[in-house]
Structure 1
Amino acid sequence: MEKIDKMIKREIIYLSKGLPKNMVHNGKDFRSGIRKEQVDELFVGFNQIEGDEVANPDYHGGQDRVVCLYPYEHYAHWESIFGKALTKTAFGENLTVSNTKEDQVCIGDVFQIGEAVLQVSQGRYPCATINKRNNNNLLLKSVIDMGFTGYFFRVLKEGKISSHSQIKKLVSHPKQVTVSSVHHLFFHEQSPTNEAIQKILNVEELAAQWRRILLNLKVKHQKR
């Protein structure tokens, strides 16, 4: 596994950050931090990226969700589905990176990107802001159907990431629970077993948000 991973070439396609902005969708105003601007470098702190903020801290941000990554390959898929290219940073990500799809990374994996050391904490829980950002009312459903959500990192070591920074995998988590497997269990399994849910909950590095979601799912399942 380690030898295979060393053969994978991961590359930063672009970096982005931004402050919350007022936007309009279908004639209605909303405010969000999803519209980010491409930059040459990011300074990643333990709590947030410098110059990068969320509009609604109840549902976004926090130490488990400091850095958002979106796999670059998905953009070609969306272009083929919708017949036109999405704008850069269409999903409000900070890192757009090749060869880092949701089925290629596990909760708890640790990467060094530039000076920063980051740990995969959770897949992204997609919301309707994705539709609003891209003026596409079909996008959210497609993201959920495909599991092309992107994912978040917590920060283990602060530091600078530049557009030319190398990406090195430092730790492959031994429990091997992929981001895509968590998404599939919650969104697509009709009757997930307690054992399958518990397997994910056993990953101590799982973010608090997803831990709550899966604990609630387990309780509902037990009541049936």
Structure 2
Amino acid sequence: MSAISSSPVSLFAGRLQPLPPEGQTTGIFKQPVAMAQVGPEGLVGDAQGDRRVHGGPEKAVHYYPAEHYARLVAECPGLAEALVPGVLGENISATGLTEQNVCIGDVYALGECRLQVSQPRRPCWKISHRLEHPGLSRLVADLGLTGWYFRVLVEGEIQAGDALRRVECLAPGLTLARLWAASEAHRPALAELRALAAAPGLNGDWVRRLTERADWLAQHARG
């Protein structure tokens, strides 16, 4: 598979804040930063509100394609001013990389770091609350405009204006778009689930879910 890279990246980090209207603690409110030190759990100084579903080594760095914002604005024109990079809680945004050309387990160089694609980001209800638009989280999921998480293979410093460059593709053709489509399908192909579950670098929870679903489909097909 050919080498791909992003445009110069924007970086975002944030501290915990209350989320209106109920006041849940969240780290979705990010601010641009010029540089960041990246450790095993992401950008140093960046916070996540609910550590059961956000953060940790397998969700260390969240990337969201900047080109997705135009698509979301087309669907929700009233949010045109608000839908700009950083607002969905991502740590990195740029153009050139999307779920259509990024594969499971891809390894990228950014500054001193090496980052590996671990899993898609499942849109959280906090997106809808953050933008005061009921149904926005579901829309992001339905359109497959999810973004994804990186795990950190090599720690170090990154800077805004650097570019992500793919240095290794472990599962050519097994794109995040294919993974998301299979996960959302009512009755996905058994072979597709098996192939995706076997992709090097895929997060273990995703492997388990895909395998369990494939096993269920195989059992009921025999029945």
Match of 1:47 among 19, 41, 50: 41
Cα contact 1:72–1:96 (8 A) shared by 2: yes
- The CA deviation string for residues 162-206 of structure 1, in whole angstroms up to 9 with x for no partner, is 01213221012244311111111111x221132111101111310
In structure 1, which of residues 173, 198, 201 is the aligned counterpart of residue 197 of structure 2?
Answer: 201
The answer as to 2:58 corresponding to 1:61 is: no
Retained in 2: the 8 A contact 1:12–1:95?
Answer: no
**1:63-113, Cα deviation, whole Å (9 max, x unpaired):** 111110000101111122211231441210000111111111001111101
2:145 aligned residue (145, 148, 157)? 148
* One-letter code aligned to 1:207: N
Q: Which position in structure 1 is the counterpart of 2:207?
A: 211
Cα deviation per residue 1:107-147 (whole Å; 9 max; x = unaligned)?
Answer: 11111011111011111111211111111113112111110
Q: Aligned equivalents of 2:212 and 2:122: distance in 1? A: 15
Equivalent residues, number: 217
| Contact preservation (8 Å) 2:104, 2:200 | no
Q: Distance in 1 between matches of 2:163 and 2:36?
A: 14
- Aligned: 1:93 with 2:90: yes
Q: Kindly indicate whether residue 111 of structure 2 is the aligned counterpart of residue 111 of structure 1.
A: no
Shift of 1:13: 4.2
What secondary structure is seen at the aligned counterpart in 1 of 2:75?
helix
Q: Which runs of 4+ in 1 moved over 3 A?
A: none
TM-score (norm 1): 0.90
Q: Which stretches in structure 2 are left out of the alignment for 5+ residues?
A: none
- The equivalent residue for 1:33 is 27
Displacement, 1:30? 1.3
Residues 46, 9 of structure 1: alpha-carbon distance in 2 compared, 3 angstrom cutoff: closer
Distance 1:106 1:197 in 2: 15
Instruction: Return closer, same or farther for 1:124/1:45 CA change in 2, 3 Å cut-off.
Output: same
Q: Percent identity?
A: 29
Q: Which amino acid aligns with 2:106?
A: D
From 8, 12, 15, give the equivalent of 1:12.
8
Q: Equivalent residue of 1:143, what SS? A: helix
Deviation at 1:217, TM superposition (A): 2.1
Structure 1: 5+ residue runs without aligned partners? Answer: none
Match in the other structure for 1:139: 136
SS in 1 for 2:40: coil
- Residue of 54, 65, 79 corresponding to 1:71: 65
Q: Are 1:21 and 2:13 counterparts?
A: no
1: CA distance, partners of 2:74 / 2:97: 20
Q: Is 1:190–2:186 an aligned residue pair?
A: yes
Aligned partners of 2:198, 2:172: CA distance in 1, in Å?
Answer: 8
Q: How high is the TM-score relative to the length of structure 2?
A: 0.91
From 82, 97, 120, the counterpart of 2:76: 82
**Structure 1 partner of 2:157:** 160
| Secondary structure of 1:42 counterpart | strand
